[in-house]
Amino acid sequence: MSLFFAVLVSGCHSSPPQNKLHRIKNEGILRVLTRVDPTTYYKSPEGFSGMEYDLVQLFAKRLDVKVEFITPNTFDDILRQIVRDKADIAAAGITITEQRKKNMRFAPSYQEVTEQLLYHATNSPPKELSDVNNGIFEVVKNTSHVETLNSLKIETPELNWLTNEEVDTNGLIYLLNAGLIDYTLSDSNQIELIHRYYPNVEVAFDISEPQQLAWALNISDDSSLYNEVKEFFVEIKKNHTLDRLIDRYYGHINRLGDFENCKFREHIKSRLPKFQTLFEEAAQKHQLDWRMLAAIGYQESHWQTEAISATGVRGLMQLTQDTAEEVGVENRNNARQSIMGGTQYFKDSIAQISDQIPEPDRTWFALAAYNVGLGHLEDARILTKQQRGNPDKWLDVKKRLPLLRQERWYKKTRLGFARGDEPVTYVEKIRSYYDLIVWLTDVNNPLKENAMQERPEPVENKALAIDSPLF
């Protein structure tokens, strides 16, 4: 009798089976499949970065768990492992296709792309897809690109291509730029982000209708994690966090034209070596990134010590006489003094930005203040708040800065008229120059093992910069 009672009691105290969401929270680990790519996940000068990386960290913060990133060797491995439930989420810039929906479950879309045909700039631009038969046309195995080509081959039977099992799309774009292949395919967001790094690559035309990118999950009767992911994307779309994240990675990348890009590359070789040591010295003194200082210097003067503007600013960092006196510069045409003085002024600009504004917005605000002055920047922030935008977010404020040119708006501000469009252009060009300097001064061969392919250990979200409202 006592044994029977004990069995009954033990049965009453047995725990119900956990769903997937409870298991993740109890274990404290979210396992995420991703790939190393500028559009998804990579190691930047500030640490690990990428749009998928940031999205995942925001979601992990919501769950109060750490993240374990898993980077399989191929894109095909990512799809295979999520289908087999080897991880919780696949966040790797995955295109939703009808074929894939049979094998995995997709979260709400976060970005729209098209598939584009790329060609080497020395080749004649292809007028139709079948023109790729005149050269070497490679795509990555088991990607949505292959699915699209198989569909197109029904109407264009003569269409032929090779599938590459060893490199990803970024690797094929590298090969295309080097002239080792003639054509490849890329999603529009990927080539948009890295086109500036590959001057020999051109876009021919779209080969698909707009397609959606989304996270993929294993198909299961347990919808607990899927429902939480769905709510997450609904929330970040509603509060514009997703808009700000897209702007962070894509908002500045088209600011430089092809001519500016080429001239900048020439000047990196011919001019930057004369000043790089000075930028590094100034950066070390003020705990800044020398490449950001170099980008500011290029935007100001194209790295010319004798530069002078119509308004009287001089030198490599284009200091006004008042600013030069303020930071202790006696000779604005002296490269060392100019760089040291300009760095001090930029550091002071950062210090004047409210501590409640997190990075990277704080840096963008400091750059805008360097260009237009803190007072006009504050006027734009006030206008932003009055128009129900977020005065602590660069995406919101950069939309209001140009209003300082219009009388109906600037007459309501403390300092009045300003050429508010100029600091917007100024910030976005510096961001573009900075990205290119990082790319051209680091090892960026995607076919080799490098620091970009490192994987972080699981980390607590409260140790990340995004603990503040990053976006």
The pLDDT tens digits of the residues spanning 251-306 come to 777 777 777 888 888 899 899 999 999 999 999 999 999 999 999 999 999 999 99
**How large is the average pLDDT for residues 32-55?**
84
The answer to whether residue 160 scores a pLDDT higher than 70 is yes
Q: Confidence class of residue 445 from pLDDT cuts 50, 70 and 90?
A: very low
Residues designated as active site? 300
pLDDT at 235: 95
Domains 19-112+213-250 and 258-441 share a fold: no
Indicate the fold that domain 19-112+213-250 takes in CATH: D-Maltodextrin-Binding Protein; domain 2 (3.40.190)
pLDDT of residue 450: 41
3-state secondary structure the chain: CHHHHHHHHHHHCCCCCCCHHHHHHHHCEEEEECCCECCCEEEECCEEECHHHHHHHHHHHHHCCEEEEECCCCHHHHHHHHHCCCCCEEEEEEECCHHHHCCEEECCCCEEECEEEEEECCCCCCCCHHHHHHCCEEEECCCHHHHHHHHHHHHCCCCCCEEECCCCHHHHHHHHHCCCCCEEEEEHHHHHHHHHHCCCEEEEEECCCCEEEEEEEECCCCCHHHHHHHHHHHHHHHCCHHHHHHHHHHCCCCCCCHHHHHHHHHHHHHCHHHHHHHHHHHHHHHCCCHHHHHHHHHHHHCCCCCCECCCCCECCCCECHHHHHHCCCCCCCCHHHHHHHHHHHHHHHHHHCCCCCCCCHHHHHHHHHHHHCHHHHHHHHHHHHHCCCCCCCHHHHHHHHHHHHCHHHHCCCCCCCCCCHHHHHHHHHHHHHHHHHHHHHCCCCCCCCCHHHCCCCCCCHHHCHHHCCCC
Q: What is the mean pLDDT of the chain?
A: 86
pLDDT tens readout for residues 112-155: 999 999 999 988 999 999 899 989 999 988 888 998 999 999 88
Asked whether 50 and 41 are in contact (CB, 8 A), the reply is yes
**Where do the domains of the chain lie?**
19-112+213-250, 115-208, 258-441
Burial status of residue 153 (CB atoms within 10 A of its CB: 0-12, 13-18, 19 or more):
middle
Predicted confidence band of residue 20 (pLDDT cuts 50, 70, 90): very high
Question: What pairs with residue 355 in β-bridges?
Answer: none
Specify whether the CB–CB gap between 118 and 198 falls below 8 A: no
Output the pLDDT for position 311: 79
Predicted confidence at residue 265, as pLDDT, reads 86
Q: Quick check: 9 pLDDT over 90?
A: no
Stretch 361-387: mean pLDDT, rounded? 92
Instruction: Give yes or no for a contact between 91 and 33, defined as CB atoms under 8 angstroms apart.
Output: yes
pLDDT of residue 36: 86
Count CB neighbours of 377 within 10 A: 27
For residue range 92-103, list pLDDT tens digits in order. 999 999 989 999
> Looking at the domain 115-208, which fold is it?
D-Maltodextrin-Binding Protein; domain 2 (3.40.190)
Average pLDDT of span 166-193: 90
Average pLDDT over residues 65-90: 93
Band (pLDDT 50/70/90 cuts) for residue 355 is: confident
What pLDDT shows up at residue 318?
92
1.10.530.10, 1.10.150.20, 3.20.20.60, 3.40.47.10: CATH of 258-441: 1.10.530.10
Percent of the chain at pLDDT above 70?
Answer: 89
- Judged against a pLDDT cut of 60, whether residue 435 lies above it is answered with yes
